[in-house]
Structures are given as structure tokens and as C-alpha cells.
Structure 1
Amino acid sequence: MINHSTFQHAQSAHCESGVVSNLFRHHGMQISEPMAFGIGAGIFFGHLPFVKVNGVPGTTYRTFPGAIFNKASKRLGVTVRSESFRSPEKAMQALDEKLAQGTPVGLLSSVYYLPYFPPAYRFHFNAHNLVVYGKKDGNYLVSDPIMDVATEIDPESLVAARFAKGFPEPKGKMYYPVAMPDQVKWEKPIQQGIEQACHYMLKIPVPLFGVKGMRFLAKRIQKYPHAVGDRKAGLFLGNVIRMQEEIGTGGAGFRFMYAAFLQEAAQQLNKPVLSTLGTELTAVGDLWRNFAFQAGRVCKSRAGDETSYKDLGDMMVQCAAAEEVLFRRLAQVKF
């Protein structure tokens, strides 16, 4: 049995930022999940109609998997190692070797093959992050950030989760810190994270990302019934809601988390304007939640004539306008 007594599980709102916080705290760096999320510039928006996920156009409210860990590590001066594998045997051998050394390891996995998830939540999503921190009686000890307590998984299920097929393929990816800085100076990492988030939301020239992407999707939503028919319109809209409210933390949840980051950064850097912007971003998160609620009613045909696809598009345009104003103000903050 591998010694696992020193790892402390903590529940979080989102898998990757939760893993970052848990791994870094295990190695002595006291960092909250919102701070990890903000320094890693996790907030984002993108709609990719040509990238199909289970046959439905993809929508994302966060940066690509692994970016939060990589960016936060680099900006905070943490040396990390990341490995992917072609062979399940080599992947599990490498994992066992790190656990034998007492090193908790972050893994990329598919939600569908995690038996400790309730059946209703086990769908084909291949970018879920978790920590494996030990072995006991042949099973692996798991700190899954979205679970309230630590759990365990059998080797066969873990192999299936690490090598699930589909987009994106986890390919047995594992990652972990190998060296931590002696001291953390927070100002520059926070500034870099904010600058990148503002770039993501305002300055990517392709009109599929940031606030431009929100407006692009809003127009498509308004055309869904005529462009793809009622059945597909419901499926497409349902996936937008699912990506917002069920996959990871989702759109509104990410806004609330980024707001918490801004408020924590305001205290860390003594910049009250960041706290003000955090409060305002919380209100934007409420707009997204209202959109999801109304969209869900439309999907279930419970809105009658009160809410239409056109109305939903207008709501998303309102979200885009609010975020554009907020991130332009955030971009002007002097550090």
C-alpha cells in the first residue's frame, strides 16, 4: 500500500482549476481555485460550428484543456512535467511509479468511464481532470475536485477513462509539479492572467471567439428553427445549455469564479477597482443563468409564445454587450 496520508482533498467548482489548486497546495503553495483559474486565464468563449461533438456544433466557455495548468504553472514559476502515452500498460506503469514515490498526479479522463459518478452524469466528455494520489487494495485513490469527498476507482475503469476514444482523446495524459518556487510574487502573474483574458474576450480577430463569438452564436440561434429544423434546433440549443451549465463549471459558473478571482486579486494587489469589476461580473453571470433557464424552457417547449429563438439570441447579445464593457474596463486597469 502506498502512503497517501499527506494529500488533502478539497472540493472545487471546476475540475482543472481545482486540480491546480489541490496539487499546488499539496506542494506548499497556498492558492485558491479562483486564483488558479484567473492566473491561468481560464475564462473564454468560443463557438465552433465546424467542430462537432456527438454530431452537434461545439461551444466552449473556457480555454482548451490543460491551458489553465500550463499557464498558471509558468506564471507562478512552478516546474511541471506532462506526459501522454500510446500504450495503456506504459501509462499505468508510469502512474504507479509516481505514486510509489509519493507524488500525486493529475490525469485527463473521460467522465463516461468514472464509476463513482452518478449514471445521469456519465456522458462522453473526454477533458475531465482529476488527481490520483495513492493505491489501496488494488484500487486507485482519487481526489476528483467536483466530488465532496475523496473516492477510489478500479484499474480497469481508470484505463478506460484515460484512453477513451473521441474528441479530444485523453491519450493517458498525466501531469504533476516537479519543483516549486521558494516565494511567490503575485502581482505579475495576476497581471499576465488578466491581460490574456482580456485578449481572449476582446482581441482575437476570428469572429468565433470572445464577445464576437457570442454575437456570432446569437445570430445562429435565432436562425436555428429555419436553418436546421425544429428537432435539430432543440438539440443544438440543448448543447449550448449543456456546455454552459453541466460541462465543468460552465459559462455562468466561470463568470462567478472569475469574479471571485478579481475580488481576491483586489485584496492581494490593493486595487479596489478589481473588486468593483468582480461584483459587476457576478451580475453578468446572472444574465447567463437567465439565458440558460429560458433556453431550457424553449428546449422543453414550456415557454409557449413568451420566449422564442429570437429572444434567446437577443439575450446572448445582451451578455456579449455586458462582457465587452466589463473587459474593456478591466483592460484599462493600471498595475
Structure 2
Amino acid sequence: MASNFHHAQSAHCESGVTRNLLQNIGVKQITEPLVFGMGAGLFFIYIPLLKISGGPALAFRSVPGIIFKRTCHSLGIKIIRKKFSSKEKAKEELDKKLSEGMAIGCQVGVYYLPYFPKEYRFHFNAHNIVVFGKEDGKYLISDPIMEYPTTMTDYELERVRFAKGALAPRGQIYYTLATEPVTEERIKRAIIKGIKLNVFHMLKIPGAFAGVKGIAFLGKRIKNWRDKLGTEKAGLYLAQVVRMQEEIGTGGGGFRYMYGAFLQEAYNYFQHDELMKLSEEFTKAGDLWRTAAVQASGIYKGRLGSQQDYNIMGDYLAEISVIEKLAFTKLAAVNKQLK
């Protein structure tokens, strides 16, 4: 039996699922940008010694599930999260909650999602969907990056819930519990807390691999890839950068645009003019991330390929690092003034 769940398309899977689950329990004032900002969703890390699918390991998002957890915790909303070693128990628990009329978040693998275009399918296990009912033997699926809800069979859903490899979901489900009304004061405190944590992640994590330092570090490495790896492998590495940046949750430009939208919505709560100005800075960074993606695409598709082209790509990331460092530094100072 289907719950009275409202599907809404979003820019990013986890922030979209979180927004949709909160809306489903009556927290109507929470938008996707607010979720992303309160959950401190903006992140960057590059780990040169680790490889994923033969390419460099890098991430533009926090670890899977943390945006949901942080947002709900900051708003005072209780959550339940479960993983399973048994496929049978995972199905039994999901069906039980659905029979109670609940909407359930699931972490799944992308590769076997039947409704995904083939060109978007690869082994990535940190995608998020909502299962909101079951009719005629099929599960009702709300994938927030899709325009409309869809369905999956028992076998199809089990396959993606128990995908193998890095970040294997292990049948994970998560959901919210009924909550008291979320007040404006609670939202304001959650905004302040989210900004503070995101500032830490982008400016203060030790080492050269994370935050704005990690962006600059990757830029330097890219300049050496052509000579060190050869043109074919260097092109594959750049393809990996673009895939993680623009196809897995819009991590590069898209996340910056969403963070800019978050600051605009934060302005509505605090009326601090600097928030609107900083929103423009993150939009500027987002534009430059998109420009860098076009440059990288030109290299791995063979339209570009000189050392100068790699240098330009590296310089884009260096410039992004400077812009974001300054923006987060200013934001840290503004955040101390918010009340």
C-alpha cells in the first residue's frame, strides 16, 4: 500500500531524499538548499594513493548518509538507520515499514538501476532513493534526480540494495520518526551549525588532501599527469575527475550553486547582507568548476592535449581554491555575527 508521499525532483540524491522525507513528516519549510547547507554537504578530498575504477579517488561530497544525519539531528528529528547481512531480513523490514505507511530512504548501487540510462551506469554505491510503497508486486520508487517516480521488482531492488564493492550499501534503510513542529529558531541554529562545520571541512582539516588545499593540490598534480602517465592514462584520469565532479551528484559546479542558494535562503532568516554577497562568490566558483570540466572533457576526448592544456586545467583549480578559501574565510566571520 502506498503512503501519501510527494515526489519532488532535486539536484542531488541525498539532499533531495532528505528534503522529501522531511516533507513527508510535515516539515514543509525545509528546502533542498537548506538541507545541503545545514548538513554541511560541501566537501572536497583527493587521495592520490587510492584508486576507484582505475582512476584517482576524489570526492566532492561528505560520506554517504551524513547530510541526512546532520540535518535531522540539528532540527531535533529522530532517525533510524539499519544495515543487514541477510537479504531476506532486509526485505522483511522494508515491507513491514511500508505496510505501516512509511516512506523509507535506501542507499543503493547505480550500476543495476533499471531506469538509469546506460551511459550513467557504473559501479557507484552511494546513491540514495526513497521507497514509498508497494503495488501489484512492485516497489514504488522516488529517485530525486528523476522527474517522475518509477517502480522496481523485488529482484531489481534487492540487486541494487546489496550491490558489491566500495561503499557497499548492505541493504541499508533509513527514515525519520514523527516530530514536533520545527521552529524558526531551530532552523536558524541549524544554519549556523552547518556553516561552522563546512568552514572547518574546507579550511581547517589538516594535511594537503582535503578542502581548499586539496583542490589546489589536485591542480598541481594534473599539470604533471601528461608526462608522468602518458596521454591515454592521463585522459582517463581527467575523465574520472569530470565523472565525480559533474555526474555523481553535481559535485563541482552544481554543489557550489546549491551552496550559494543555501546562503540566499539563510539571508531570509538572518537579514545579513554579506550572506547574499557570499552567495555570488560561490556561484562564481561554480562557474569556474564548470569551465574546468569543459577543459578536462576537451583533453580526454582528444580535442585538446598539449602540456599547456593540462596547465590551464591545473590553473583553473588553483583559482577555484583561492576563491573558495576567501569565501569560506569571510563566511566564518559572518557566521559569528548571526543570531
Q: Tell me what 2:60 maps to.
A: 61
Structure 1 residue 156 and structure 2 residue 126: aligned?
Answer: no
Q: Tell me what 2:17 maps to.
A: 19
Q: Tell me what 1:48 maps to.
A: 47
Q: Tell me what 2:112 maps to.
A: 113
Q: Tell me what 2:213 maps to.
A: 212
Amino acid at match of 2:187: W
Q: Tell me what 1:190 maps to.
A: 191
Q: Tell me what 1:309 maps to.
A: 310
Residue identity (%): 47
Q: Secondary structure of 1:312's match? A: helix
Q: Provide TM-score, normalisation by structure 1.
A: 0.97
Q: Tell me what 1:258 maps to.
A: 259
After superposition, where does 1:239-278 map in structure 2 within 5 Å?
239-278=240-279
Aligned residues: 333
Structure 1 residue 128 and structure 2 residue 127: aligned?
Answer: yes
Q: Secondary structure of 1:238's match? A: helix
Q: Tell me what 2:323 maps to.
A: 322
Instruction: Please state how far the C-alpha of 1:160 moved relative to its aligned partner.
Output: 0.7
- Asked if the contact 1:73–1:79 (Cα under 8 Å) also holds between the matched residues in 2, the reply is yes
- Asked if the contact 1:113–1:158 (Cα under 8 Å) also holds between the matched residues in 2, the reply is no
- Asked if the contact 1:294–1:307 (Cα under 8 Å) also holds between the matched residues in 2, the reply is no
* Whole-Å separation in 1 of the counterparts to 2:191 and 2:147: 28
Q: Secondary structure of 1:275's match? A: helix
Q: Provide TM-score, normalisation by structure 2.
A: 0.96
Instruction: Please state how far the C-alpha of 1:307 moved relative to its aligned partner.
Output: 4.9
Q: Tell me what 2:84 maps to.
A: 85
Structure 1 stretch displaced more, 243-252 or 194-203: 243-252
Amino acid at match of 1:254: F
Q: Tell me what 1:202 maps to.
A: 203
Instruction: Please state how far the C-alpha of 1:50 moved relative to its aligned partner.
Output: 2.5
Q: Tell me what 2:70 maps to.
A: 71
Amino acid at match of 1:178: L
Describe the shift of the 1:224–1:304 C-alpha distance in structure 2 as closer, same or farther (beyond 3 A). closer
Q: Secondary structure of 1:92's match? A: helix
* Whole-Å separation in 1 of the counterparts to 2:187 and 2:101: 28
- Asked if the contact 2:129–2:144 (Cα under 8 Å) also holds between the matched residues in 1, the reply is yes
Point out where structure 1 has 5 or more consecutive residues left out of the alignment: none
Point out where structure 2 has 5 or more consecutive residues left out of the alignment: none
* Whole-Å separation in 1 of the counterparts to 2:310 and 2:304: 11
Q: Tell me what 1:7 maps to.
A: 5
